[in-house]
Amino acid sequence: MTRTAVGTIVAKNFVSFARVLADSFRRHHPAVPLFVVLADEVDGCFAPSAEPFHLLHLRDLAIPDLASSRFHSTREQVAIASKPYLLSHLVERGFERVVFLDPDILVLSDLTSLFDEAGRHSVTLTPHLLKPPSAAEGVNRELNILQSGIYNAGFIGVSNTQRARDFLVWWRDRLRDHCRRDVAQGMFYDQRWLDLAPVFFEDVHVLRDPAVNVAYWNLPERDVRLDGDRVLVDGEPCRFFHFSGFDPDQPLAVTKYASRLTMADAGPAAELYAQYLRLLDAAGYQETKAWPYAYGHFDNGVPVPDLARQIHRELGDASTGFGDPLRTAAPGSYFNWLNEPIDAPRDASMTITRLWRAIYEQRPDLRRAFPDLTGAGRAAFLRWTAEFGVREHDIPEHFLGWYARAAILSASTNRSASPGGDDIAARVG
């Protein structure tokens, strides 16, 4: 019997999705192990042994410089970039066929034929679209796909061959520093790199089965019907459905990635979304969604802004002097370094910190609006940090200087008392 394994990756807040996926998978393949990589820490939120899946930690996956890459990446990027390591890990453990599935997938029927096909090739991919969309807005959908990748990274099949290993090594190397969204540069996380796979590596199979990886992007071309317990696609049993971008707290929206789509557009599949919502609820979505991300805060409780991760990454070797970037207490800590002033103004309350200067240097519009950070320009820039900077860059208010916070305070006390003003008053002084 060919040894097969399936894997997915979640942070703690997506554990309910992993449960639903695992349960749906076990219904059809009770003997095939399903592994869940936790791109996070358990931190006592749940009991791994009680879950319907095998738990793996990031540290089990032989990811080099894990502490560093965890800090440099957003939560999403940490999960995505560990994908090739998960597949390698399972192949090294002796599984001959390994399939990665995104956590927001529901298995709906037997996947044996899918496993067989994946086992016949080194790498198996599924395209987002199998044929040109016919409707007028079809061009925009195609352009979307051209921007984000021909093949969907929510399904990857690999078998135990040298070519598969070569692919995984190349892919994880690309994801180390080039796993982000920057369409103009040709990047869309891990997914756009897959466009090159069928050309770079022989024996990459493009699986063209409409019953596989049905999702919002190809719904218009696939005839989805519910027939009692079964879900059919173009008359054939649907293998799995991919609820990409579905937010259980916004159940009327099909996906957060295409706001124009509503459940009315989903046709019979809308019922499937409703079922999925109930499954997630039963799997503890309301509880799990609030579980905190272990690598999301400094040890003083301040959330780590994405910008801080980016600055640390760009420092390269120079960042090693800070030690663990999440530790704040030491004088030479990264947190303190970010909050150090860039100069010594006469009025010490008007400090501009390294963090805000980094933003200034990234934003040509700010440099035009505040060309001179001395004198009046400085005060105006500091006011900007409080009024707009924190929101635009998602910076916790802890990074605001005294002057900026006082500016908000005086602005809000000049208006009638507002809750926001009171909060700031509580923090300042």
Partner 1 sequence: MAVATTVAKSYLSFARVLAASFLRYHPDIPFFVLLADEVDDCFVPAAEPFRLLRLADLKIPGLADLRFRYSQQELTYSATGYLLSHLLDRGFSGAAFLKQESLVLGDMTDVFSTMDHHSIVLVPHLLAPLPGKEGIARELNILQSGVYNVGFLGVSGKPCARAFLTWWQDRLRDHCRHDVPQGMHFEQRWLDLVPAYFDDVHILRDPGFNVGHWNLPERDVRLDGDRVLAGEEPCRFFRFSGFDPDQPLAVTKYSSRLTMANAGPAAELFARYRTLLEDAGYSETKGWPYAYGHFDNGVPIPGAARRFHRELGDRSAQFGDPFQTGKPGSYFNWLNEPIDDRSDPFGTITRFWRAVYDQRPDVRQTYPDLCGADREAFITWTEQFGIREHGVAERFLVHPSRPAPRLRSVQLRTCESTLGVNLAGRFASEKGIGEAARSLERGLAAAGIAYVLNNYEDPLSSNEERTLTGFSNASPYPVNLLCADPVAMPAFTALHAATYLAGHHNVAHWAWEFSDFPRAWAPYFEHLDEVWVASTFVQQAVAKVSPIPVRTVPYCIRDDLHARACGPDVTLPADRMIFLFAFDFASHFARKNPLGLVRAFKRAFGRHDDVLLVLKCARSHLAPADLARLREAAEGARVEFIDRVLPRQQVLSLMRRADCYVSLHRTEGFGLTLAEAMDLGKPVVATGYSGNLDFMTASNSFLVDYRLVPVQQNWGPYTEGHVWADPDLDHAAALMRLVYEDRARAQEVGRRARQDILARLHPRVVGEHVGRLLSAATGGGVRAAV
Binding site for partner 1 (CB under 8 A): 127-132, 139, 142-147, 150-151, 170, 174, 177-178, 183-187, 192-193, 195-196, 198-200, 206, 208, 365, 368, 371-372
- Cα angle, residue 223 at apex, residues 218 and 224 outer, rounded to 5°: 90
Give the helix/strand (H/E) hosting 8. strand 4-10
- Which position has the token pair 């929206």? 253
Nearer to partner 1, 24 or 152 (CB): 152
User: Strands, E, within 90-203: which ranges?
Assistant: 97-101, 105-107, 123-127, 151-159, 181-182, 187-188
Nearer to partner 1, 127 or 396 (CB): 127
Whether 403 and 382 have beta carbons less than 8 Å apart is answered as: yes
Nearer to partner 1, 19 or 141 (CB): 141
In the chain, the N- to C-terminal Cα span, in Å, equals 69
Nearer to partner 1, 206 or 380 (CB): 206
Secondary structure tally for the chain: helices H, strands E: 18, 14
**Min dist. Cβ of residue 129 to partner 1 (A):** 6
Nearer to partner 1, 120 or 208 (CB): 208
Phi, psi angles (nearest 5°) of residue 158: -135, 150
Using alpha carbons, list the distances in angstroms from residue 76 to 11, 188, 213, 293, 332. 8, 12, 21, 11, 29
Nearer to partner 1, 67 or 183 (CB): 183
**Min dist. Cβ of residue 206 to partner 1 (A):** 6
Nearer to partner 1, 90 or 366 (CB): 366
**Min dist. Cβ of residue 146 to partner 1 (A):** 3
**Min dist. Cβ of residue 132 to partner 1 (A):** 5
Nearer to partner 1, 194 or 253 (CB): 194
Residue 96 class from Cβ within 10 Å (0-12 exposed, 13-18 middle, 19+ buried)?
Answer: middle
**Min dist. Cβ of residue 72 to partner 1 (A):** 17
What is the identity of the amino acid at 11? A
CB atoms < 10 A from the CB of 179, how many?
25
Which residues does 154 contact at the CB level (< 8 Å), separation at least 6?
Answer: 101, 102, 104, 105, 213, 215, 242, 244
**Min dist. Cβ of residue 407 to partner 1 (A):** 23
**Min dist. Cβ of residue 21 to partner 1 (A):** 25
Encoding tokens for residue 153?
Answer: 């990274």
Give the helix/strand (H/E) hosting 114. helix 112-119
**Min dist. Cβ of residue 66 to partner 1 (A):** 21
- Which position has the token pair 């005294």? 402
